[in-house]
DNA sequence: ATGTTACATTCGTCTATTCGCATATGTCAC
DNA sequence: GTGACATATGCGAATAGACGAATGTAACAT
């Protein structure tokens, strides 16, 4: 019966979004798309120190956005929900269009000043 | 020719996500879904002080996520891209499922301890 | 038990965000 | 011009986020 209040939902919604609000975390999530990866592999792939990646993974874990699974000495991380990647892709498209429009505007301005 | 580097894209991607990383901003964006709204209406609808809403709108504006259009004394705000709302909806669904699963788990635990 | 590899956490510091409050700007009506 | 309304911004305090560097824990092999 623990119904969640409207503002609590908004808070949780914002926390999930905040999980995406860091370039490294976005890169980590995309690294996990092809399949599970362990921490050192991610760190190596992104050229970032392992503790930094571990901390970012903790942020994502706390928000239920990735799943950690121990396999012996290593820990495999997975994206918890494919819709997280879908949302990232949507926002990436928004960004791509914005950059495209800016480039077009710049070209227009350039040709206007020729 | 201004090609944007990989990490710059990630930075911009993260900035858009950061635009969503606040409960009030999410509420503002959903307020704009039915149609354009001016600042005071949003502030009244959310029961928040006008300067706070104005600042949040500035954050969204700077990231190109909303469009401001002056009409006389008032300024009408619109969501710049419908995919922003789609992304929010996706993440909201992720959250809803998570809450549903947590509730189910709690119920299981409760029945196990009967 | 020791060593080695994999991962997580703590600490101190720095930067960024958010807020309330007051105030500035902008637009219109008169 | 003045006044009234709509929106934006400056300022200071409080809070949160991210980092590097060092250290702690966990799993396994020998």
Mean pLDDT by runs of 10 across the 114 residues of chain A is 82 98 98 98 97 98 97 97 98 96 84 68
pLDDT band at B114 (very low <50, low <70, confident <90, very high): low
In a domain, A83, yes or no: yes
Structural contact between residues A68 and A77, judged by C-beta atoms closer than 8 angstroms? yes
Spatial neighbors of A98 by CB under 8 A, at least 6 apart, are B64
Q: What is the mean pLDDT of residues B99-104?
A: 88
Nucleotide in closest CA–C1' contact with A72: D27
A18 contacts on B by Cβ (under 8 Å)? 17-18, 21
In a domain, A56, yes or no: yes
In a domain, B15, yes or no: yes
Q: How many distinct structural domains can be found in chain B?
A: 1
In a domain, A99, yes or no: yes
In a domain, B56, yes or no: yes
Among chain B residues, the shortest Cα distance to A24 is held by B10
Task: State yes or no: pLDDT of B113 exceeds 90.
Answer: no
CATH number of the domain enclosing B81:
1.10.10.10
For strand D, give the nucleotides within 7 A of a protein CB. Answer: 5-10, 17-23, 26-28
**Residue A75 structural domain:** 23-108
| Cα angle value A61/A67/A72 (rounded, 5°) | 110
Q: How far is the CA of B68 from the C1' of C20 (A)?
A: 25
In a domain, B54, yes or no: yes
In a domain, A100, yes or no: yes
In a domain, B1, yes or no: no
CB nearest B93 (choices: A26, A83, A106):
A83
């Amino acid at each position: 019966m623990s119904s969640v209040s409207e503002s609590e939902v908004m808070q949780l919604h914002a926390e999930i979004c905040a999980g995406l609000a860091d370039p490294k975390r976005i890169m980590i999530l995309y690294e996990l798309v092809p399949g599970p990866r362990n921490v050192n592999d991610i760190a190596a792939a992104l050229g970032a120190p392992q503790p930094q990646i571990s901390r970012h993974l903790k942020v994502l874990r706390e928000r239920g956005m990735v799943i950690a699974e121990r396999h012996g000495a290593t820990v495999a991380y997975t994206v918890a929900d494919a819709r997280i990647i879908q949302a990232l892709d949507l926002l990436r498209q928004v960004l791509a269009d914005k950059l495209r429009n800016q480039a077009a505007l710049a070209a227009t301005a350039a040709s206007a000043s020729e």
